[in-house]
A and B are shown apart, each in its own frame.
Chain A
Amino acid sequence: MKAALIDHDDSFTQNLRQWLKPLFSQIDVYNHHDYFSQQSRLNSTYSLFVLSPGPKNPSDYHQTLEWLKTISPTTPVLGVCLGMQMIVLSESGAGAIKKYSPPLHGKKSKLHLSLGGENKSDENLLSLQGLSVARYHSLVCEPKNISPAFDVIANSADDQQVMWIQHQTKKWMGLQFHPESFLTEKPELHLNYLKKWLQK
Chain B
Amino acid sequence: MNPLICFFEHNLFIYTLDYEVINCPPTLSVQVFLKQIEEKYFEKLKVVQVNFEFDHPERFEHQTALYQCPKAKVYVIRYYELKTLSEIKAASLTLDMNTEDIHFKPLMSKNDFIAKVQTIQQDICEGRLYQVNLTAPLEGETSENALNLFFKYEEKFQSQYKVLLPGTQLDIISFSPELFIENINETLTTRPIKGSSGSATDFVASLYKNKKEEAELSMIVDLLRNDLNSLGEAAAEVMAHRAPLQLGYIQHTYSEIKIKNNLPLGEVLGHMMPGGSISGCPKLESLKVIGEVEPYRRQIYTGTLGWWKKNDFKLNLAIRTFIKTGDKIFYHAGCGIVFDSDAELEWSEFLLKTGGLHVKV
Contacts and interface: CB of A to CB of B under 8 A. Distances in A.
Binding between chains A and B: yes
A12 B216 CA distance: 15
Contacts of A102: 339-340
Interface stretch (B51-59, B75-83, B276-284): B276-284
Interface stretch (B14-22, B104-112, B122-130, B144-152): B122-130
Contacts of A18: 229, 235-236
B142 interface: no
Contact of B227 (A14, A55, A183): A14
A158 to B, nearest CB: 13
Contacts of B211: 107
Nearest to B282: A11
A55 B282 contact: yes
Contacts of A9: 282, 284-285
Contacts of A14: 225-227, 229-230
A10 interface: yes
Contacts of B236: 18
A99 B340 CA distance: 16
Given A18-B236, A107-B211, A55 B124 contact: no
A197 interface: no
B229 A17 contact: yes
A139 interface: yes
A46 interface: no
B342 to A, nearest CB: 13
Interface in A92-110: 99, 101-103, 105-107
A15 B226 contact: yes
Nearest to A29: B230
Contacts of A137: 127
The interface size bin for chain A is: 20 to 34
B34 interface: no
B223 interface: yes
Interface residues of B, number: 36
Given A11-B226, A136-B219, A57 B126 contact: yes
Given A9-B285, A14-B227, A107-B211, A136 B126 contact: no
A107 B236 CA distance: 20
Contacts of B129: 55
A136 B130 contact: yes
A138 B219 contact: no
Interface string A1-17: 00000000111111101
A12 B223 contact: yes
Nearest to B194: A106
B131 interface: yes
B262 interface: no
B128 A106 contact: no
Contacts of B141: none
Interface in B184-223: 211, 214-219, 221-223
A55 B215 contact: no
B338 interface: yes
A106 B222 contact: yes
A134 interface: yes
B114 interface: no
B223 A11 contact: yes
B226 A13 contact: yes
Report the 6 A-B pairs with minimum CB-CB distance, sorted nearest first: A106-B215, A105-B130, A14-B229, A106-B218, A106-B219, A11-B282
Given A21-B235, A106-B131, A137-B127, 20 more contacts: A11-B222, A11-B276, A11-B282, A12-B223, A54-B282, A55-B128, A55-B285, A57-B127, A99-B127, A103-B339, A105-B131, A105-B281, A105-B338, A106-B219, A107-B211, A136-B219, A138-B124, A139-B127, A182-B221, A182-B225
Interface of A: 9-15, 17-18, 21, 54-57, 99, 101-103, 105-107, 134, 136-139, 178, 181-183
